Amino acid sequence: MFIAIQIGKKEIKGLGDCVGTIIKNHGYKGFFKGLGALVLRDSSSYGLYFVSFEYLRRALKSNGMENKLLVDFICGGLAGKFIF
């Protein structure tokens, strides 16, 4: 829908018009197109995030870091870098 608007093929007058166009052209299933790809992408990336976060957290705690806030801050930042 957004591509059609961007290239000027379709003029949408507002949110209601946009919702009506999606329902008319694709039915209610049109709101969920692309959801499968989104779930696959996000579940794998968040899985990798939490695995790397926990691994780094255990590694830092076993090396003697006791400040929980600092450990979580460092591990969250590094885990975020791994997935992006």
C-alpha 18/C-alpha 43 separation (Å) is 29
Number of domains in the chain: 2
pTM of structure: 0.61
> Is residue 8 domain-shared with residue 47, that is, in the same domain?
no
Reported as a single tens digit per residue, the pLDDT across 30-59 is 889 889 999 998 998 899 999 999 999 999
C-alpha 53/C-alpha 55 separation (Å) is 6
Range of the domain at 29: 1-33
C-alpha 74/C-alpha 25 separation (Å) is 48
> Is residue 42 domain-shared with residue 79, that is, in the same domain?
yes
Residues in the chain: 84
C-alpha 75/C-alpha 51 separation (Å) is 11
pLDDT of residue 72: 92
pLDDT of residue 9: 61
Higher pLDDT, 7 or 74: 74
Q: What percent of the chain has pLDDT over 90?
A: 44
